[in-house]
Amino acid sequence: MTPIKPPRGDFSSNSSPEPSSKRPSAKRRTLLTAAASLPLFTVWSGPARAAEFNYKLATGQSLDQPINARLKQATDRIREASAGRLDIRFFPASQLGSDTDLLTQVRSGGVEFLNIAGSVISTVVPLAAITNVGFTYSDYQQVWSSVDGDLGKLIRAQIDKSGFVSVAKAGDNSFRQISSASKPIKTPADLQGYRIRVPVSPMFTSLFKSLGANPTSINFNELYTALQTKLVDGQENGLVAIDSGKLYEVQKYITQTNHIWDPFWMLGNRRAFANLPDDLKKIVQREFDRAYMEQRGDVEQLNTTLKDQLAKKGIIFETANRDSFRKALADAGFYKEWRDKFGAAPWAALEAVVGKMS
């Protein structure tokens, strides 16, 4: 069989080595309410009259992800609600550069707003990685209680201190699951010596090493071939990436571990946002908050639909013994290591929602 390289990347942004596709999937768009009325390939049409403020909004996510539909709608509503005073041009799918490039552009003011994954912004705001700690969140109720509550306030405060400004609530960059070709991964014992592909991330590598696995960093566009040729035994990703990358052709099992959840954050250039009059700031925050709230529902619905679709394609779904994974991580000192790195207050805010982890 000739190796096939999948066209799309992880559900995470493409600055970890996960490239985004610029070709939208019609199948996925039909799953989203937003996509029914929004052609995702349309980036921007100019305002009817000159705006008082002309800003840019960028994302690194592929066009068929729900976040782009919702943010495009938000920019349209902002233009309308401001009577054309604020025009935000929308540039999805890394059109203005990788996430690393875009972070630099937001700092300099070349781009005013950026949707970015927490795992990516953690390179400049280390506390943002706290939502990636392994086997913490068991469901979305815990997720939203955390990022909409005290922990989210602490993360946004650190974002604001880093030279950016946090503009809105968090969005959903999805839970990640473990897939395998040879066996289901139900307990830590199943990961002993297991060769698993991970993105380039200290948190991801630390997690799987602590569980006794052999994590290997491989670019997503090389993952299909790596699985096909048995370079690695399995991988971990959200269901969207597993489906879009056709990984179901070279994997048999998906264990719903929910081992890592990642948010989206809306970053703003501090000076550009401060220059907006108070009424326009309120419009921006209101409409971006609305976009993220609607996107949360889109992702949850999409993941449910994709589970059914993947099962029909031959994937066998398994459920992990999460308590055994958490105990193994505690015994390996994983939680203590990251608690010391993040500090007592953020860790207490996390444990207030998910329970004691060490």
- Tens-digit pLDDT string for the chain (358 aa): 444 333 344 544 443 334 333 444 544 544 444 443 444 444 444 545 689 999 999 998 878 788 999 999 999 999 999 999 999 999 998 899 888 899 999 999 999 999 998 988 988 999 999 999 999 998 999 999 999 999 999 999 999 999 999 999 999 999 999 999 999 999 999 999 999 998 878 898 999 999 999 999 887 768 899 999 999 999 999 898 898 789 999 999 999 999 999 999 999 999 999 999 999 999 999 999 999 999 999 998 998 899 999 999 999 999 999 999 999 999 999 999 999 999 999 999 999 999 988 7
Neighbours of 156 (CB within 10 A): 22
Map residue 8 onto helix, strand or coil. Answer: coil
Q: 42 phi and psi, to 5 degrees?
A: -85, 120
Using an 8 Å Cβ cutoff, are 14 and 94 in contact?
Answer: yes
Q: What's residue 220's pLDDT?
A: 73
Most distant pair of Cα atoms in the chain: their distance: 64
Using an 8 Å Cβ cutoff, are 169 and 293 in contact?
Answer: yes
Report how far residue 309's alpha carbon sits from residue 288's, in angstroms, rounded to the nearest whole number.
31
Residue with the two structure tokens 């768009």: 29
Q: Of the candidates 267, 202, 235, 254, which has an alpha carbon nearest to the alpha carbon of residue 71? A: 267
Q: Which helix (DSSP H) or strand (DSSP E) does residue 144 occupy?
A: helix 140-147
Q: Of the candidates 210, 232, 212, which has an alpha carbon nearest to the alpha carbon of residue 222? A: 232
Q: What's residue 47's pLDDT?
A: 47
Q: What's residue 214's pLDDT?
A: 97
Report how far residue 335's alpha carbon sits from residue 12's, in angstroms, rounded to the nearest whole number.
23
Q: What's residue 48's pLDDT?
A: 53
What does pTM read for this prediction? 0.82
E runs forming strands in 132-239: 164-166, 171-180, 195-198, 214-217, 234-237
The number of angstroms, rounded, from the C-alpha of 70 to the middle of its chain's C-alpha atoms is 15
Residue with the two structure tokens 């306030």: 153
Q: What's residue 49's pLDDT?
A: 65
Q: Which helix (DSSP H) or strand (DSSP E) does residue 228 occupy?
A: helix 223-228
